[in-house]
Structure 1
Amino acid sequence: MNSLRVLLVDDEALARSRLRTLLGDCTAPRAQVGGEAANAEQALALLSSQTFDLLLLDIHMPGIDGLQLAQRLQALGQPPAVVFVTAHAGHALQAFEVAAVDYLTKPVRLERLQQALQKVERIAQVNKAPEPDLTEDVLVIHDRGRTERVPMASVLYLKAELKYITVRTASKNYILDGSLSELEARHASVFIRIHRNALVSKRALRALEKHFDPEEGEGWAVRLQGLAEPLMVSRRQLAAVREAMAG
């Protein structure tokens, strides 16, 4: 990708001007401001007629706020990436729940903005990579008298629960009778183990963040593209997950 096309959404003209200046100094990747909006309504109007790679989005705005706008974007077929730019540091968890790529606090430093652009670029490259041949790469699931072939590329995670495995896609849960270890061995190029009972799709990894679990206490969790809830990462698997995120 030669340059990211960016839509600036902030009700303060001065904030948009500063971001425009900072983006002009970004070089790896480069970024081009393709439009500006002072509120969510203006942003939606631009998005209906133009294509953007990225929204640099404020949270506190009159009317529809940035979090609500980001939620609406998820209904688009190919939504642009979202990086929140806000003066308030307390909305990070909500931001990642609407699949934000990054969360920057004002005043934004050039180095942090460049890092966020690099994350967006990496995700865009993964999404544009050619899909593998899925002719045989499917799970055959038998459920209540119905047999269904579920492409592995649509699976977000596999989680062992009692003697069954939950197979989760963006739209549905399936129950599979099988071994998590066998699936890990057969599909090591597609999935990474994050816990003794869970494998997640490498392609779906979006964020690694600190998280509190009522059963396991303070720790780390991953966010997956197309999934609202976080999944806990065990201490043993944390280094491998970090390496996968960096790649």
Structure 2
Amino acid sequence: MQKPLRLFLVDDEIPALNRLRDVLADCAAACPHEVVGTAANGMTALAQLAEAHADVVILDIQMPQMSGIEVARKLLDFSQPPVVIFATAFEDYGVAAFDVRAVDYLLKPIRQDRLIAALHRAEEMRLARPAQSGQMVGARTHFSVTERGRVHLIPVQDAVYLKAEQKYITLRTLAREYLLEDSLTRIEEEFGARFVRIHRNCLVACDALVGFEREVQSGGDAHWVALLRDLPERLPVSRRQQHVIKDFGKPEHDG
């Protein structure tokens, strides 16, 4: 039987904390949990969270002295940081929230179905953490993409490739493309061996690579391209990165 999620709640308004407790009580059957602590400000929350061993923090953003974003940023320094779910009355913090690796962003008044979905996502993260391979400790599990005022969470494992184009990165999944504001260098550093660089402007997921092929252009020049699983795109490999072709098929790339 799965252990209940250990939740810690942070909100500077006591009525809001009480309402959150009420909604959580209604979610208990769908997502077993226990509330291991509450705090009304960020400093108190950090002090208690250092001892509480919470799985999830449900965190208000606009608070005096220390914002929820600042609290979440400091939680990233914990050896085993809890999963963060933001709960706020304001829509403006979506991108900042996911920059500190929050798994969800709930608008008050919080709906029961949205809270259940957020808790299930947090539970998936808790279960997946020990098994994540090719990904550094503390790395994000989702990319955050803003489209027409909405924030979408794209699982890192769904990314086939990421290509830098002007000030954006094109994030390609099997389903579609997204525009991401990020840095390829930062992504490469964050995710360790999950992605391989084939060009100064392109990272490809190692498990999406099926091989390389020499392609002759109309002028007679030839260059290498990367072949992808389940996608027709053929991505150019730069001369500088051609060592990845030799490395492909070695034991660390098998499977």
Question: Which category describes the TM-score, using the shorter chain as reference length?
Answer: 0.5 to 0.7
Offset at residue 75 of structure 1 (A): 1.3
Which stretches in structure 1 are left out of the alignment for 5+ residues? 133-151, 199-247
SS at match of 1:90: coil
Describe the shift of the 1:176–1:9 C-alpha distance in structure 2 as closer, same or farther (beyond 3 A). closer
* Letter matched to residue 32 of structure 2: R
Where does the alignment leave 5 or more consecutive residues of structure 2 unmatched?
140-155, 165-183, 212-228, 237-255
Which residue in 1 is equivalent to 2:121? 119
The answer on whether the counterparts of 1:24 and 1:31 sit within 8 Å (CA) in structure 2 is no
The answer to whether the 8 A contact 1:10-1:39 is kept is yes
The answer for the alignment partner of 2:217 in structure 1 is none
Report if the CA contact (8 A) 2:7-2:37 is conserved: yes
What corresponds to 1:14 in structure 2?
15
1:97-246 matches, within 5 Å, as 97-129=99-131, 152-154=134-136, 168-170=188-190, 183=206, 184-185=208-209
For the 8 Å contact 1:57–1:85, the answer to whether it is kept is: yes
User: What is the CA-CA distance between 1:177 and the residue it aligns to?
Assistant: 6.3
Please tell me whether the aligned partners of residues 88 and 107 of structure 2 are also in contact (alpha carbons under 8 angstroms).
Answer: yes
Question: Which consecutive aligned stretches of 4+ in structure 1 deviate over 6 angstroms post-superposition?
Answer: 155-158, 171-175, 177-182
In structure 2, the residue matched to 1:88 is 90
**Residue 2 of structure 1 corresponds to which residue in structure 2?**
3
Specify the structure having the higher radius of gyration (Cα). Answer: 2
Report if aligned partners of 1:180, 1:197 keep a CA contact under 8 Å in 2: no
Corresponding residue number in structure 2 for 1:23: 24
Is 2:59–2:87's contact at 8 Å kept on the other side of the alignment? yes
Distance, in Å, in 1 between the alignment partners of 2:3 and 2:205 is 41
Q: CA deviation at 1:182?
A: 10
Question: Residue 24 of structure 1: SS of its match in structure 2?
Answer: helix
Cα deviation digits, residues 33-55 of structure 1 (max 9, x gap): 11000000110111121200111
What is residue 47 of structure 2 aligned with on the other side?
A: 45
Residue identity in the other structure for 1:40: G
How many percent identity over aligned positions? 35
3-state SS in 1 of match to 2:22: helix
Q: Deviations over 1:99-158 (max 9, x none)?
A: 1100011111111111110110111111133x66xxxxxxxxxxxxxxxxxxx4449887
Question: Is this contact kept in 2: 1:23–1:32, CA < 8 A?
Answer: no
- Does structure 2 retain, via aligned residues, the 8 Å contact 1:23–1:30? no
1:76 CA displacement: 1.4
Q: 1:197 to 1:58 in 2, by over 3 A?
A: farther
**Within 1, Cα distance between the matches of 2:210 and 2:95?**
34
**Which residue of 2 is the match for residue 214 of structure 1?**
none
**Against the structure 1 CA distance between its residues 121 and 196, is the aligned structure 2 distance closer, same or farther, given a 3 Å change threshold?**
farther
**What residue in structure 2 maps to residue 212 of structure 1?**
none
Residue 4 of structure 1: how far off its partner (Å): 0.8
Q: Identify if the C-alpha distance between structure 1 residues 90 and 180 changes in structure 2 by more than 3 Å, giving closer, same or farther.
A: closer
The TM-score with structure 2 as length reference comes to 0.57
Structure 2 residue aligned with 1:233: none
Task: Give the drift of 1:186.
Answer: 5.2
Judge conservation of contact 1:24–1:32 (CA < 8 Å) in 2: no
Residue 185 (structure 1) shift: 3.1
**Number of aligned residues:** 172
Q: Give, in whole Å, the separation in 2 of the partners of 1:19 and 1:186.
A: 48
SS of aligned partner of 2:7: strand
Q: Do the aligned partners of 2:10 and 2:60 also contact (CA within 8 Å) in 1?
A: yes
Q: Spell out, residue by residue over 1:53-76, the C-alpha distance to the aligned partner (whole angstroms, 9 max, x if none).
A: 111100111101101111111111
Output the aligned Cα RMSD. 3.8
Q: What's the CA shift string for 1:194-225, capped at 9, x where partnerless?
A: x9769xxxxxxxxxxxxxxxxxxxxxxxxxxx
TM-score for both structures, normalised by structure 1? 0.58
